[in-house]
């Protein structure tokens, strides 16, 4: 018999860390800046992950994504595999540390000018 | 300003709505690189009869998965598609999704047109430009676009497009019609607000 310790759970059980352990129990971000489509960006990525780094592995992963290219909050959540609520809390930490920039989405009333929509249509045709 | 590249990046949001099983996931997958997006929401009164909390009384949030896709137009411009959750108990998510959306696609199945009513009403009331895309399932009788518009009691001018959600070209055409329609709606709104001088 090679299978020594039978587990009562398997991979289907999902992550064995409670989600909001990653946010130290906080369920709401400290900033209201993180609309689904707010674009976040970092000038530089995190340093090497290791001792002395104040970032959690999840914050580290998010900062790496933000340094790669600008992307909206929804895409950060999708790319990091973390739920939106968790991502918003972690982004607000990174914002407080001055590690990321956030651009609020253009308000719908000013949106969107005709030449941008023309670019979208041309871009879709070219897909 | 060059230092913050996010200044020049524009992300536009398009919603894909419609009844359960109408082909929203298929459409998003046909035209974009589809990925899951999850959000956790507080359970509401509306969800209670459905989400049995027996034995887990402390569970107050539930995870909702949405279809999510990106279409890169160019370096500084991308479209993001959000498949809205089909179940009625997730309606509260729609307000955040609809805010600032460029427009919406309401995907419809002519065999179950009534499933589209809620989405049509919602976008009409919120003033979100939308097109109705009739997913032409094999075996479903084909209908003329005008008949569908009549059956859904659409405002005049709301486009109805026949499509096949499995076909990339067909889905592209739906999105193009939507963006054209959104462009003319915004233009009409600007004209209406402009001083008459």
Tens of each residue's pLDDT in chain B, 197 residues: 334 455 689 999 999 999 888 999 999 999 998 888 988 766 554 444 455 545 445 556 677 888 999 999 999 999 999 998 766 667 777 888 998 899 999 999 988 999 999 999 999 999 999 999 999 877 666 788 999 999 999 999 999 999 999 999 999 999 999 999 999 998 888 788 776 54
CB of A108 less than 8 A from some CB of B: yes
Over the stretch A57-90, which tens digit does the pLDDT of each residue have? 999 999 999 999 999 999 999 999 999 989 999 9
pLDDT score for A51: 58
Q: Which CATH architecture has domain B5-39+66-192?
A: 3-Layer(aba) Sandwich (3.40)
Contact A39 B9 (CB under 8 A): yes
**Residue B59 phi, psi dihedral angles, 5° rounding:** -75, 115
Tell me the sheet residues that pair with B13.
B80
Contact A111 B71 (CB under 8 A): no
**DSSP H helical ranges for chain A:** 57-68, 73-80, 84-96, 114-126
Average pLDDT over residues A39-64: 84
> Is the pLDDT reported for residue A42 higher than 60?
yes
- Distance, CA of B146 to CA of B172 (rounded, Å): 21
**Chain A partners within 8 Å of B73 (Cβ):** 119-120, 123-124
- Distance, CA of B120 to CA of B17 (rounded, Å): 9
pLDDT score for B36: 86
Residue A104 pLDDT class (50, 70, 90 cuts): confident
Question: Is the pTM for the entire model greater than 0.80?
Answer: yes
CB of A48 less than 8 A from some CB of B: no
- Distance, CA of B79 to CA of B72 (rounded, Å): 6
Over the stretch B52-93, which tens digit does the pLDDT of each residue have? 545 445 556 677 888 999 999 999 999 999 998 766 667 777
Size of interface A-B (CB pairs under 8 A): 115
**How far is the alpha carbon of B74 from chain A, nearest alpha carbon, in Å?**
8
The side-by-side arrangement of strands in the sheet containing B10-18 is B33-42, B61-74, B77-83, B10-18, B103-108, B130-135, B160-163
Contact A78 B11 (CB under 8 A): no
Average pLDDT, chain A: 83
pLDDT score for B44: 52
pLDDT score for B177: 98
pLDDT score for B140: 65
Average pLDDT over residues A87-115: 84
| Nearest by CB: A121 against B80, B180, B186 | B180
CB of B80 less than 8 A from some CB of A: yes
Average pLDDT over residues A100-109: 76
| Nearest by CB: B80 against A75, A85, A114 | A75
The helix/strand count (H/E) of chain A reads as 4, 3
CB of B92 less than 8 A from some CB of A: no
Q: Structural domain boundaries of chain A?
A: 11-126
Residue A33 pLDDT class (50, 70, 90 cuts): confident
- Distance, CA of B64 to CA of B90 (rounded, Å): 8
Residue with tokens 């289907």: A12
pLDDT score for B48: 47
**Structural tokens at position A67:** 């340094």
Residue with tokens 């674009």: A39
């Amino acid at each position: 018999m090679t299978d020594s310790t039978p587990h009562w759970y398997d991979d289907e059980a999902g992550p064995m860390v409670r989600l909001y352990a990653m946010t130290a129990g906080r369920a709401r971000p400290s900033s209201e800046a993180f609309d689904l489509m707010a674009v976040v960006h970092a000038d530089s990525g995190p340093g090497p992950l290791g001792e002395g780094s104040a970032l959690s592995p999840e914050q580290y992963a998010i900062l790496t994504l933000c340094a790669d290219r600008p992307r909206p909050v929804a895409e950060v959540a999708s790319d990091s595999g973390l739920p939106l609520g968790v991502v918003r809390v972690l982004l607000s930490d990174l914002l407080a540390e001055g590690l990321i920039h956030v651009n609020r989405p253009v308000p719908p009333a000013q949106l969107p000018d005709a030449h941008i929509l023309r670019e979208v249509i041309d871009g879709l045709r070219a897909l | 300003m060059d230092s913050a590249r996010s200044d020049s990046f524009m992300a536009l949001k398009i919603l894909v709505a419609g009844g359960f099983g109408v082909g929203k996931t298929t459409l998003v997958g046909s035209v974009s690189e589809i990925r899951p997006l999850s959000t956790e929401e507080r359970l509401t009164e509306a969800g209670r009869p459905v989400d049995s909390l027996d034995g887990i009384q402390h569970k107050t949030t539930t995870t909702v998965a949405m279809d999510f896709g990106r279409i890169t137009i160019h370096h500084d411009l991308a479209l993001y598609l959000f498949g809205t959750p089909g179940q009625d108990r997730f309606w509260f998510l729609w307000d955040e999704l609809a805010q600032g959306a460029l427009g919406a696609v309401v995907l419809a199945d002519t065999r179950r047109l009534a499933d589209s009513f809620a989405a049509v009403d919602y976008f009409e009331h919120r003033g979100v430009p939308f097109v109705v895309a009739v997913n032409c399932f094999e075996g479903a009788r084909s209908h003329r676009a005008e008949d569908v518009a009549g059956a859904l009691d659409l405002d005049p001018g709301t486009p109805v497009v026949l499509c096949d959600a499995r076909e990339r070209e067909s889905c592209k055409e739906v999105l193009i019609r939507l963006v054209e329609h959104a462009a003319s709606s915004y233009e009409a709104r600007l004209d209406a607000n402009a001083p008459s001088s």
